[in-house]
């Protein structure tokens, strides 16, 4: 596993060079997008900021406004798989540098990562305070009509730790784990079970 320092927006070369297993320290400007923003973008809606090279983060933060300034108190990742119907189109239309979330994504997204030279960064689900601590600034928020969690937040982060779990070579750690655990499951299901065990 290599440790890589990455700045968002990512150059096409950096985005393409990331490999499954790379540990990343991410800094720079990122945007959040979850279900509503993805549906909006995939149906041709114009992004409020240019997404070229940026990290698109699947996250609905807890945010409070104090004296006109937004403060994010918790900002862990949400389940990325819900964006699977939209993500490939978003990647091909807007060329982000990386997609970031939790749980991994499916074959359509993986193909788009390959063709567009993009990577998927995995964060630990629920590690909301740790991620919030890496957020140095809330630059702005757009599409607030979708509600606070579903809006597009433009955030600045510093040294956010992430793991590359899908890459532009077509590798997916999630696919590997699912295949291996499927084999294990089939073996375990065939094991005889005695309900008196452990009594």
Partner 1 sequence: MFTEMMDETNLLSSITALMKKACTVLPDDVHRALSLAYAGERKDSIACETLGMILQSAALSAEAGLPVCQDTGVPLVFVRAGTVPDMSAVETAVRRSLKTLTEAGLLRHNCVDAVTGKNTGDNIGPHVPQIHFSPTDAAATVGVMFKGGGSENVSAQYSLPCPELDAGRDLDGVRKCILDAVFRAQGKGCAPGILGVCIGGDRASGFLIAKEMLFRRLDQRNDSPVLAGLEDTIVEQANSLGIGPMGLGGKTTLLGAKITAAGRHPACYYVTVSYSCWATRRAAVELDSDGRIAGWL
- Please give the structure tokens belonging to residue 8: 């968002």
Going by their DSSP bridges, the two strands 119-122 and 135-142 should be labelled as unpaired
CA atoms of 118 and 140, how far apart (whole Å) = 25
CA atoms of 72 and 86, how far apart (whole Å) = 26
Are 55 and 192 contacting, i.e. CB atoms less than 8 angstroms apart?
no
Q: How far is the CB of 15 from partner 1 (least distance, A)?
A: 21
- Distances from the Cα of 134 to the Cα of 4, 5, 137, angstroms: 16, 14, 9
Are 90 and 52 contacting, i.e. CB atoms less than 8 angstroms apart?
no
Q: How far is the CB of 106 from partner 1 (least distance, A)?
A: 12
Only segment of 41-49, 87-95, 107-115, 131-139 that touches partner 1 (CB under 8 A): 131-139
Of positions 22, 116, 150, 167, contacts partner 1 by CB under 8 A: 150
- Per-residue x/- marks for partner 1, 12-51, CB under 8 A? ------------------------x---------------
Q: Can residue 108 be called a binding residue for partner 1 (CB under 8 A)?
A: no
CA atoms of 120 and 69, how far apart (whole Å) = 31
Of positions 16, 38, 95, 102, contacts partner 1 by CB under 8 A: 102
Decide if 174 is catalytic. no
Where along the sequence are the contacts to partner 1 (CB under 8 A)?
36, 59-64, 71, 73-76, 78-79, 81, 102-104, 122, 124-133, 147-150, 161, 163, 165, 173-174, 177-178, 180-182, 184-185, 188-189, 191, 193, 195-199
- Residues catalogued as catalytic: 38
């Amino acid at each position: 596993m290599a440790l890589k320092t990455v700045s968002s927006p990512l150059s096409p070369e950096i985005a393409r060079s990331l490999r499954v297993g790379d540990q990343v320290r991410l800094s720079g400007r990122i945007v959040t997008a979850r279900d509503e923003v993805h549906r909006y973008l995939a149906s041709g809606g114009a992004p409020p900021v240019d997404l070229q090279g940026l990290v698109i983060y699947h996250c609905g933060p807890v945010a409070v406004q104090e004296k006109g300034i937004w403060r994010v108190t918790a900002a862990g990742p949400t389940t990325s798989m819900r964006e699977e119907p939209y993500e490939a189109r978003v990647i091909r239309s807007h060329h982000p540098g990386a997609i970031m979330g939790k749980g991994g994504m499916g074959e359509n997204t993986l193909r788009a990562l390959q063709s567009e030279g993009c990577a998927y960064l995995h964060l630990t689900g629920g590690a909301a305070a740790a991620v919030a601590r890496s957020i140095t600034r809330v630059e702005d928020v757009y599409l607030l009509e979708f509600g606070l969690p579903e809006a597009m937040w433009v955030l600045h982060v510093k040294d956010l730790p992430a793991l590359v779990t899908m890459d532009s070579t077509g590798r997916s750690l999630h696919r590997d784990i699912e295949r291996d655990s499927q084999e294990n499951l089939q073996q375990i299901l065939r094991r005889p079970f005695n309900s008196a065990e452990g009594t």
